A = this chain, B = another copy of it.
């Protein structure tokens, strides 16, 4: 019997998606599931819900700066709030999609590398030279970065990812779907795991 994967919708600029990205593979493995990583852009999601980035909202922005580092400590995950936050992530996402197509073994290492670069090493993943350096550090051909970021079919795939996420009800990041059951937020991982353990509750 094949079981469906855990679909993980995310934007590279979401600290809660970063935190969840460090946990989801271990959870999936415990229940014999794969993780399907779906990079999207939060901009269109916010446009759909009428929200703005948390950091730009009075009170919520201040709370985020307390909550994210504390949640990282709670999970035992390194965190360093980026000096530039949030950032545009369509280029990092396009590179991921390019790798998912052409070098799938390199895709997951790339996404963890991007998250870590941004949320622990304060490297601005909106900048093409930073992405090129990250590619080099991963042993990827540096020219692939510009090839992927400029590829019209990859652009279209990223847009299709956003459409698919909205169709699935995405209202923030991370948005994780297992067996058509949606879980929004790093804080829903315990419920998600309970769902996997019990087959639904």
Could you tell me which A residues sit within 8 Å of B by CB distance?
45, 48-52, 57-60, 62-63, 66-67, 70-71, 73-74, 166, 169-172, 181-182, 184-185, 187-188, 190-191, 194, 201
Q: Which residue of B lies closest to A188 (CB)?
A: B187
Residues of B within 8 A of A194 (CB): 74
Asked if B187 and A185 sit within 8 Å, CB to CB, the answer is yes
- Chain B residues near A48 (CB, 8 Å)? 58-59
Counted per complex, copies of this chain come to 2
Contacting residues, chain B, for A66 (C-beta < 8 A): 181-182
Question: Sorted from nearest, which 9 A-B pairs have the closest CB atoms?
Answer: A59-B171, A187-B187, A60-B171, A49-B59, A49-B57, A63-B171, A74-B191, A73-B201, A49-B58
A188–B169 alpha-carbon span in the complex (Å): 23
